Amino acid sequence: MSSISKFFKNNIRQYGMVIALAFIMVLFQVTTGGIMFKPMNITNLVLQNSYVLILAIGMLLAIVTGNIDLSVGSVAAFVGAVSAVMMVDNHMGVAPAMVLSLLIGAAVGGFHGYFIAFLRIPAFIVTLAGMLIFRGLTMVILQGQTKAPFEKSFQAMAAGYLPGMDLRWHGLNIIAIAAGILLSVILVVAMLRARGTKMRYHFETMPLWLDILKIVVIVGAINLLTFELAAYNGIPIILIILSVLIVIYTFVTQRTIVGRHVYALGGNEKAARLSGVKTNQILFWVYVNMGVLSALAGLIVAGRLNAATPKAGTGFELDAIAACFIGGASASGGIGTVIGTIVGGFVMGVLNNGMSIMGVSVDWQQSIKGLVLLGAVWFDVYTKSRAQTK
C-alpha cells in the first residue's frame, strides 16, 4: 500500500495536469451541451493549437536552459511574410520556398543565439529586441498589407487532411481508425519492453496493475482521438507533423547526450561547463532550433489563414511560455518535459475553445487563462515545498 501512495506522491505533478486536462474537457462537454467532444470540434482543437504547440516545444528547450524567447510570435510573422513574398509575389515553388523559410528561421535564431550564448546578453533583452525588430521588419515587408492567396498544396499542410478521406466504413475514415490501432499496438509493446528492461536491471517498477491502467488510459485516449477524427475528415496533416516533432523532441531531451547537456546547463551552468559540456554552443543551438520551429509555426499560420498578415502571431510567445509553465517547467531552468508542455498547451487550447463555444467574451477569457497559469504554477511550487519539508 505504501508503495502506491508513494507512487502517487512522486507523480502527482506529472499526472496532475493530465487529470486536470481531462476534467476541463469533461466540464466543457457539459457546459457546451455536448459540443466539446463533437468530431469537428476535436479536429478544430488540433488545427487551432498546432502552431502554439510547435512554438512551445522550442520554448521548452529555451526555458530548460534557464532562458526565454519573447520573439517567437514576431519571427513567425516575419517568416510568414517572407514566404509570401517568395510564393505569392515571385511564384516560387512550395518546397524550395519552405526550405528557404526554415533556413531564414535558423538564421534569425542564430542571430539571437549569438548575442545570448557568446556575448552573454540576457535572453530576455535579446529576444525582446528581436520581438520588436522582426515585427517591424514584417510590417516593412508587407507594407501594412495582407499578401494572399497561397497555393493549394501549401494550405494543405496547415488545414488539409491525409488523402483517402473517402475510404469510409460506417461513416468512419478507415485510415484514421487503422492509425489509432497501429499506434496502440506499438505503444503497448514499447511499454512492456521498457518494463522488462527495468526488471532486468532490478529497478523499482510500478505495480503491474498501475502500469496496465496507464496503458489502458493512453490507448483509450488515442483511440478516442482517432475515432473522433475518423468521424470527421480523417487525420489532419498538421497532426502528423506535430506528432513527429513530439516524438523526436521527447527522444532528444530524454535519451540523447545533447538533451542531457541541455538539462545540465539549465540545472547548473558552471558545473556543466566544468564537466566538459560546451555550454555556449548548446545555448546557441537551442536558439537556432527555436528559430527553425518559429519559422515552421509561421508557415503553418500563413497556410491556415491562407495569407501573410502584419499582425500574425501576436501574443504567441506568451501562449507558448504559458504552455511550458503549466506543463511543469521551472522558471529557473533544468526542469520540464516535452509531453508536459504539450499537455499544458492543450489545457490553454481547450480553455480557449470551450469558453469561445460558451460565448464567454475574449476579455474574460484572457483573465481566466491568466488565473489558470498562476494556479498551475502555484500548485507546482506548493507540492514541491511540501515534498521538501515533509
Partner 1 sequence: MAEQILEMRNITKTFAGVKALDEVSFSVNRDEIHALVGENGAGKSTLMKILSGVYPHDSFDGSIHFEGDQCRFREIADSEAKGIVIIHQELALIPYLSIAENIFLGNERATAGVIDWNRTAVAAKDLLAKVGLSDNPTTRIADIGVGKQQLVEIAKALSKKVKLLILDEPTAALNDEESSKLLDLLLGLKKQGVTSILISHKLNEIARVSDAITVIRDGSVIETLDNAARQIDQDRIIKSMVGRELVDRFPKRESKVGEVVFEVRDWTVMHPLYDDRVVIDKVSLKVRKGEVVGLAGLMGAGRTELAMSLFGRAYGRGHRGTILKDGKELKAHDVNSSIRQGLAYMTEDRKNFGLVLIQDIKSNISLASLKKVSVGNVIDQGRENESAGEFAQSMRIRCTGIDQVVESLSGGNQQKVVLSKWIMAEPDVLILDEPTRGIDVGAKYEIYTIINKLASEGKSIIMISSEMPELLGMCDRIYVVTEGEISGELDREHASQESIMGCIMNHKRRTTA
- What's the CA gap between 33 and 22, in Å, rounded? 17
* Residue 274 lies near partner 1 (rule: CB under 8 A): yes
* Residue 264 lies near partner 1 (rule: CB under 8 A): yes
- Helix 338-358 vs helix 316-326: angle between axes, to the nearest 10 degrees? 120
Which triple of cell numbers denotes residue 69?
524567447
Residue 146 or 268 having the CB closest to partner 1? 268
* Residue 257 lies near partner 1 (rule: CB under 8 A): yes
Of 85, 146, 267, 383, the one binding partner 1 (CB under 8 A) is 267
Residue 38 or 273 having the CB closest to partner 1? 273
* Residue 335 lies near partner 1 (rule: CB under 8 A): yes
Of 11, 153, 197, 366, the one binding partner 1 (CB under 8 A) is 197
Residue 145 or 281 having the CB closest to partner 1? 281
CB atoms under 10 Å from CB of 158, counted, come to: 22
* Residue 201 lies near partner 1 (rule: CB under 8 A): yes
- What's the CA gap between 309 and 292, in Å, rounded? 20
Residue 153 or 281 having the CB closest to partner 1? 281
For residue 309, the minimal CB distance to partner 1 (Å) is 40
For residue 84, the minimal CB distance to partner 1 (Å) is 37
* Residue 314 lies near partner 1 (rule: CB under 8 A): no
Of 152, 193, 278, 311, the one binding partner 1 (CB under 8 A) is 278
Residue in 105, 83, 51, 234 with CA at minimum distance from that of residue 154: 83
- What's the CA gap between 310 and 43, in Å, rounded? 27
Binding part of the chain for partner 1, among 126-134, 151-159, 194-202, 239-247 by CB under 8 A, reads 194-202
Residue 32 or 65 having the CB closest to partner 1? 65
Residue 117 or 225 having the CB closest to partner 1? 117
* Residue 120 lies near partner 1 (rule: CB under 8 A): no
Of 171, 203, 359, 361, the one binding partner 1 (CB under 8 A) is 203
With H, G, I as helix, E, B as strand and everything else as coil, classify residue 236: strand
Residue 59 makes CB contacts below 8 A (sequence gap 6+) with: 68, 69, 72, 290, 317, 320, 321, 323, 324, 341
Which triple of cell numbers denotes residue 300?
503553418
Binding-residue total with partner 1 (CB under 8 A)? 29
Binding part of the chain for partner 1, among 82-90, 163-171, 270-278, 363-371 by CB under 8 A, reads 270-278
Residue 229 makes CB contacts below 8 A (sequence gap 6+) with: 39, 42, 43, 46, 173, 176, 235, 236, 239
Helix/strand/coil (H/E/C) assignment for every residue in 34-102: CCCCCHHHHHHHHHHHHHHHHHHHHHHHHHHCCCCCCCHHHHHHHHHHHHHHHHHHCCCCHHHHHHHHH
* Residue 256 lies near partner 1 (rule: CB under 8 A): yes
Contacting residues toward partner 1, per CB under 8 A: 197, 200-201, 203-204, 255-258, 260-261, 263-264, 267-268, 270-278, 330, 334-335, 389-390
